[in-house]
């Protein structure tokens, strides 16, 4: 798989259920970030986890990072219809450059049914 | 909360024409980026910019592309001679350090 691949590609759940999305990557990273994109709109930053962190929480979001397996997961608890969107992981690689590029995955399309 | 803004929201141009996409990054940010997303595909990095020069660029960012920070607030992406395959959403982003804030995007349609 390519750098920053999410699975599943699509996920459909009922409101109130939890949604888990996974991301795998190939190269060493400084950090991994999760973004959300509503259809045809911009990218909204959700949460960032650094390579020396294993878990992070923000509201209903929980992110884990396993650098030995080069994988991350995003858990959204108690989902709402408004959570319906595409979710992308993006990795910031280790680089000598000052302004570091993000490498995005292909995303998981989450649909939360009311 | 401060936002990155982009203009225009939609640009239609003919093949071979030059286009300039404009971005106003968040005011105290020092790092600026352009990404693009072809319909149905991944978001792809184009270029990053810091201290008035390009920091990194991808293979996509060839001689047809250029970036400029003409004044203290704007950050522009120019495509000199557009091709059909340049049709995409173009996102500008800025960061103070690590967390990148994205603008709403400009949808470029090349006919």
Mean pLDDT of chain A: 90
Residue A1 has pLDDT above 90, yes or no: no
- Chain B residues with CB-CB distance to A97 below 8 A: 48, 55-56
Percent pLDDT > 90 in chain B is 82
Nearest CA in chain B to A43: B102
Interchain contact, B102 vs A45, CB within 8 Å: yes
Interchain contact, A45 vs B91, CB within 8 Å: no
Domain ranges of chain A: 5-113
Residue A4 has pLDDT above 80, yes or no: no
Domain of residue B35, CATH code: 2.60.40.10
Residue A2 has pLDDT above 50, yes or no: no
Tokens of A41: 């709109």
Residue B102 has pLDDT above 50, yes or no: yes
3-state secondary structure chain A: CCCCEEECCEEEEECCCCEEEEEECCCCEEEEEEEEECCCCCEEEEEEEECCCCEEEECCEEEEEECCCCEEEEEECCCCHHHCEEEEEEEEECCCCCCCCEEECCCEEEEEEC
Domain with B58 in it: 5-9+17-97
Q: Cis peptide before B8, with omega less than 30 degrees from 0?
A: yes
Nearest CA in chain B to A38: B104
pLDDT at B104: 94
DSSP-derived letter for residue B99 is: P
Residue A70 has pLDDT above 70, yes or no: yes
pLDDT at A3: 56
The CATH label, of 2.40.10.10, 2.60.40.1220, 2.60.40.10, 2.170.120.12, for the domain at A5-113 is 2.60.40.10
Decide if B64 is inside a domain. Answer: yes
* Helix/strand/coil for B76: strand
Decide if B102 is inside a domain. Answer: no
Section B14-24 average pLDDT:
97
**CB atoms closer than 10 angstroms to residue B69:** 15
More confident residue, B97 or A80: A80
**In this complex, which of B48, B50, B99 lies closest to A48 when CB atoms are compared?**
B99
Nearest CA in chain A to B97: A99
Section A83-94 average pLDDT:
93
Interchain contact, A44 vs B102, CB within 8 Å: yes
A10-54: pLDDT as tens digits:
999 999 999 999 999 998 999 999 999 988 788 999 999 999 999
- Number of domains into which chain B is organized: 1
Residues of A contacting chain B (CB within 8 angstroms): 30-31, 33, 35, 40-45, 48, 88, 90, 92, 95, 97-107
């Amino acid at each position: 798989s390519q750098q920053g691949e999410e699975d599943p590609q699509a996920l459909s759940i009922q409101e109130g259920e939890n949604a888990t999305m996974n991301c795998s990557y190939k190269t060493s990273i400084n950090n991994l970030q999760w973004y959300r994109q509503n259809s045809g709109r911009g990218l909204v930053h959700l949460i960032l986890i650094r390579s020396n962190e294993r878990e992070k929480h923000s509201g209903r979001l929980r992110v884990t990072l396993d650098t030995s397996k080069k994988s991350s997961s995003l858990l959204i608890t108690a989902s709402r219809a408004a959570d319906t969107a595409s979710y992308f992981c993006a990795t910031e690689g280790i680089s000598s450059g000052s302004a570091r590029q993000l490498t995005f995955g292909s995303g998981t399309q989450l649909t939360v049914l009311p | 909360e401060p936002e990155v803004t982009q203009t225009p929201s939609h640009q239609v141009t003919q093949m071979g024409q030059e286009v300039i996409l404009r971005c106003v990054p968040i005011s105290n940010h020092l790092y600026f980026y352009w990404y693009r997303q072809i319909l149905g595909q991944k978001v792809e990095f184009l270029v990053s910019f810091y201290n008035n020069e390009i920091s990194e660029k991808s293979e996509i960012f060839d001689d047809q592309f250029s970036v400029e920070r003409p004044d203290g607030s704007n950050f522009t992406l120019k495509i000199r001679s557009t091709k059909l395959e340049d049709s995409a959403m173009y996102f500008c982003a800025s960061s103070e350090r690590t967390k990148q804030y994205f603008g709403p995007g400009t949808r470029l349609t090349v006919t």
